[in-house]
Amino acid sequence: MFNVTKVTEFLLLGFSEVRELQLVHAAMFLLVYLAALTGNLLIVAVTALDRRLHTPMYFFLRNLSILDLCLISVTVPKSIHSSLTDHRSISFLGCASQVFSVVLFATSELFVLTAMSYDRYAAICLPLRYEVLMDRGACSKMAAASWLGGGLFAVMSSSGTFSLPFCGSFLIPQFFCDIASVVRLSCSETHPVIVVLLVTGTLSGVFCFVSILVSYARIFWAVLRMPAHEGRAKAFSTCLPHLTVTTMFFTTAIFATLKPSSGSSSALDMVLSVFYVVMPPALNPLIYSLRNRDVKAAVGRVLVGSPFTQGRKLLLLT
């Protein structure tokens, strides 16, 4: 028998109880969030405004940036607000919405990264059929399937998690609501719904990982057979940013999945969470802008043609 309690709110564990350290955490998270916000919005703007970037690769990059922007916006602003006000409570509905949103954007990003690897495979290994395979309709369907797949898994995850009975402590040892932390607060000793979600999520992750691995194995085989050194360098330059982002995504996801559910400190859990929730959205725009000449050139063209720049030129001329 369990003393099941009706949950109205949860409490999020902060990074520190010391007020000065709370302010430092808020300042650091604010800087990271502003960097991620600026970088991702800039990529969305240049890929939408510059006609030279209206290609499948940059269409998926725009979707990736939107997902990164949404993912970091779900968790970080709430954590900053909690640190500044020392108000750590989050409503039951707010916690459920946070779990739903994190799963939605993270899962959709996994599918988008898989679609991007197929796009690179088609461009390098099947250049004569590329325009047919990756036309506008095919790209739109892949993007829609990625978002819908993430939404379906998010509905299953959030409904399955918050249908569990809760009792005892309502303290979540994280700076945001995640499935693992919420499930630990459940009174039930068996979680069949969570087991189904875990199996489904693992199978989806393995499928995407194998698909990306096979795509890049074929890409590397095709690139190494190219006779011209310049062709190989150009092919690698278009694949390297995506490969770096994909590696970082899977590495942080594996850390999040394989970390021990017990025996690890709350501080370690929160640090690991930063690496798979906060850092990828902040670093992805930096990786693509530094390693991609087309993106850097487009950023320059957009900034040069902006009203602010034009007005400054007119002011200098007068």
Residue 35's closest CA among 290, 307, 284?
A: 284
What is the structure's pLDDT at 263?
47
Flag whether 154 is in a domain.
yes
Flag whether 1 is in a domain.
no
CATH number of domain containing 186: 1.20.1070.10
What is the structure's pLDDT at 275?
77
In the predicted model, what is the mean pLDDT of the chain? 82
Q: Which residue has the higher pLDDT, 158 or 17?
A: 158
* Average confidence (pLDDT) over 287-315: 62
Question: 305: which DSSP letter?
Answer: T
With a pLDDT cut of 70, the percent of the chain lying above it is 82
Long-range Cβ pairs for the range 311-317 (8 Å, 24+): none
Model confidence band, residue 191 (pLDDT cutoffs 50, 70, 90) = low
What is the structure's pLDDT at 252?
72
Domain count, the chain: 1
Q: Can you give the residue range of the structural domain that contains 194?
A: 9-317
What is the structure's pLDDT at 38?
92
**Rounded Cα distance, 142 and 139, in Å:** 5
Flag whether 2 is in a domain.
no
Flag whether 137 is in a domain.
yes
Flag whether 300 is in a domain.
yes
Question: 163: which DSSP letter?
Answer: T
pLDDT tens-digit series, residues 53-93: 889 989 999 999 999 999 999 999 999 998 888 888 899 99
**Rounded Cα distance, 241 and 224, in Å:** 18
What is the structure's pLDDT at 313?
45
Flag whether 3 is in a domain.
no
Model confidence band, residue 243 (pLDDT cutoffs 50, 70, 90) = confident
Half-sphere exposure of 134 (CA within 13 A, CB side): 24
What is the structure's pLDDT at 230?
63
- CA-CA-CA-CA torsion sign (282, 13, 182, 11): negative
What is the structure's pLDDT at 257?
63
Give the Å distances, CA to CA, from 207 to 111, 170, 184. 10, 35, 28
**Rounded Cα distance, 170 and 18, in Å:** 22
pTM across the whole model: 0.86
Burial class of residue 192 (count of CB atoms within 10 Å of its CB; 0-12, 13-18, 19+): exposed
Flag whether 110 is in a domain.
yes
Flag whether 264 is in a domain.
yes
**Rounded Cα distance, 67 and 56, in Å:** 17
**Rounded Cα distance, 214 and 211, in Å:** 5
